[in-house]
């Protein structure tokens, strides 16, 4: 089994506040990752490069995105999330996720 952790409490709280349908899809995808591995692939997940992955959550209310990484010992760390409002992922959201990825990796050393 894989274990899911959050970068901080704020990230978890923000996801829990998502609209019900998007949050339900997030929970479903997290259960799949916990059981089978973090490598869900498209259309559920997409590699963003350099160890960063995007979880693609959908619901009747819209689209949510969660950035995560994998750590040693079958551990998944949720780094950042947002509700998608435009076709392309805003660069500031990717920048935030990459900064947190560096922090997590630096702490692991």
pLDDT in tens, 21-76: 999 999 999 999 998 887 788 889 999 999 999 999 999 999 999 999 998 888 99
Q: Which residues contact 94 (CB under 8 A, 6 or more apart)?
A: 48, 67
71 vs 58: CA distance, rounded Å? 25
pLDDT at residue 41, rounded to an integer: 84
Q: What is the mean pLDDT of residues 79-98?
A: 93
Q: What is the mean pLDDT of residues 6-18?
A: 97
- Eight-class DSSP state of 81: E
C-alpha distances (whole Å) from 98 to each of 1, 78, 89 are 26, 12, 13
In the structure, what pLDDT confidence band is assigned to residue 20 with cuts at 50, 70 and 90?
very high
Q: What is the mean pLDDT of residues 71-92?
A: 91
How is the chain split into domains, by residue range?
3-108
Domain 3-108's class? alpha beta
- The pTM assigned to this predicted structure is 0.92
55 vs 29: CA distance, rounded Å? 8
């Amino acid at each position: 089994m894989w274990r899911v952790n959050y970068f901080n409490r704020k990230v978890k709280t923000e996801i829990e506040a998502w609209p019900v349908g998007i949050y339900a899809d997030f929970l479903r995808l997290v259960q799949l990752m916990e059981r089978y591995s973090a490598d869900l692939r498209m259309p559920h997940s997409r590699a963003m490069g350099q160890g960063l992955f995007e979880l693609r959550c959908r619901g009747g209310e819209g689209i949510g995105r969660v950035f995560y990484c994998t750590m040693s010992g079958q551990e998944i760390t949720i780094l950042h999330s947002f509700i998608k409002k435009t076709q392309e992922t805003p660069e500031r959201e990717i920048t935030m996720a990459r900064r947190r990825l560096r922090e997590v990796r630096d702490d692991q050393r």
